């Protein structure tokens, strides 16, 4: 309840998460039928990077600030176009003042038949999120602990969906809670595509987290990780990862193009690295550096 994403909006972790979310949405739209995005920890939905909070950390300068100015090349530019075009749409006069959170980004990419369910527990953030989508019949905003949504709001009536789980990691057991939440949700909605975000930092139990996920009876789990700096001498975030359950068929190949480019443009020191690999299914070979 203490976490406020405005301090971190648009940072390198957001870039990875939102670039992949946009790719998943575009893949789902290859079929005519509508689908639902369920965002369990939605935040306020839209962030003013000129605000005192965002300026205090300046994390967006090392994330989306760099990416918008980067020479990405034609292939990577095409993959990032849905994501970056949404940011340009929010900032028609140029520059980057406004940055979309996951629910706003998803909504901007929707077709008329696609729907959003967004959960937020923090009272102030929920109020802002509710105002942002007030009157939008494509969006359902609920003041709710996102962990509960993994049971109560699945499966969606559309029978197709992306479930984004991006908890604040304020508690020590969040990695275990994330794995248990996935297990519970998957039993209710095994055909869904799940995207789980997690932080990389010194001492984080990543190996144990991955092993727990591998022990679940879930056939396909793809993992993508981006590290932007060494963890030597610091205790904060050095990178982030995504676990994608039932990933789009094209996503692994897209990650092989996206991750090297993100590493090159977002690296904060020479220890930056990336990897994409299967936790379950396909094969277990990691790709990266």
For the annotated catalytic residues, the residue numbers are 166
Question: Residue 163 and residue 83: Cα distance in Å, rounded?
Answer: 18
Question: Residue 91 and residue 244: Cα distance in Å, rounded?
Answer: 30
- 8 Å CB contact between 16 and 195: no
Q: State the CB neighbour count (10 A cutoff) for residue 280.
A: 18
Question: Residue 41 and residue 103: Cα distance in Å, rounded?
Answer: 10
Edge-to-edge strand order for the sheet containing 161-165? 139-143, 115-120, 36-39, 161-165, 193-200, 239-245, 221-227, 273-280, 287-288
Question: Residue 141 and residue 120: Cα distance in Å, rounded?
Answer: 8
Q: How far is CA 130 from the centre of its chain?
A: 20
Inter-CA distances, 72 with 80, 128, 168, 222, 266, Å = 9, 34, 30, 24, 12
Helix (H) or strand (E) holding 260: helix 251-266
Q: The tokens of 66 are what?
A: 């760099």
Q: What is the DSSP letter of 155?
A: S
Question: Residue 43 and residue 164: Cα distance in Å, rounded?
Answer: 12
Q: State the CB neighbour count (10 A cutoff) for residue 242.
A: 24
């Amino acid at each position: 309840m203490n976490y406020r994403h405005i301090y971190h909006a648009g940072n390198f972790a957001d870039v990875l998460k939102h670039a992949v979310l946009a790719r998943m949405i575009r893949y789902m739209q290859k079929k005519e039928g509508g689908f639902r995005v369920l965002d369990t920890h939605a935040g306020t939905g839209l962030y003013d990077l000129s605000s005192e909070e965002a300026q205090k950390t300046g994390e967006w300068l090392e994330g989306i600030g760099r990416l918008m100015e980067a020479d990405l090349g034609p292939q990577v530019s095409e993959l990032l176009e849905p994501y970056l075009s949404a940011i340009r749409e929010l900032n028609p006069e140029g520059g980057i003042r406004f940055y979309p959170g996951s629910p706003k980004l998803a909504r901007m990419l929707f077709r008329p038949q696609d729907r959003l369910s967004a959960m937020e527990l923090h009272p102030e953030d929920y109020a802002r999120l509710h105002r942002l989508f007030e009157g939008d019949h494509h969006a359902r905003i609920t003041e709710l602990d996102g962990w509960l949504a993994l049971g109560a709001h699945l499966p969606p009536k559309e029978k197709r969906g992306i479930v984004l789980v991006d908890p604040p990691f304020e508690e020590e057991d969040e990695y275990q809670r994330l794995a248990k939440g996935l297990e519970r949700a998957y039993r209710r909605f095994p055909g869904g595509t799940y995207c789980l975000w997690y932080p990389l930092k010194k001492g984080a139990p990543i190996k144990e987290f991955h092993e727990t996920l591998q022990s679940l009876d879930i056939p396909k789990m793809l993992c993508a990780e981006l590290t932007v700096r060494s963890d030597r001498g610091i205790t904060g975030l050095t990178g982030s990862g995504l676990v994608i359950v039932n990933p789009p068929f094209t996503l692994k190949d897209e990650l092989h193009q996206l991750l090297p480019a993100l590493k090159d443009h977002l690296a904060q020191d020479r220890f930056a690295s990336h990897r994409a690999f299967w936790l379950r299914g396909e094969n277990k070979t990691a790709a990266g550096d």
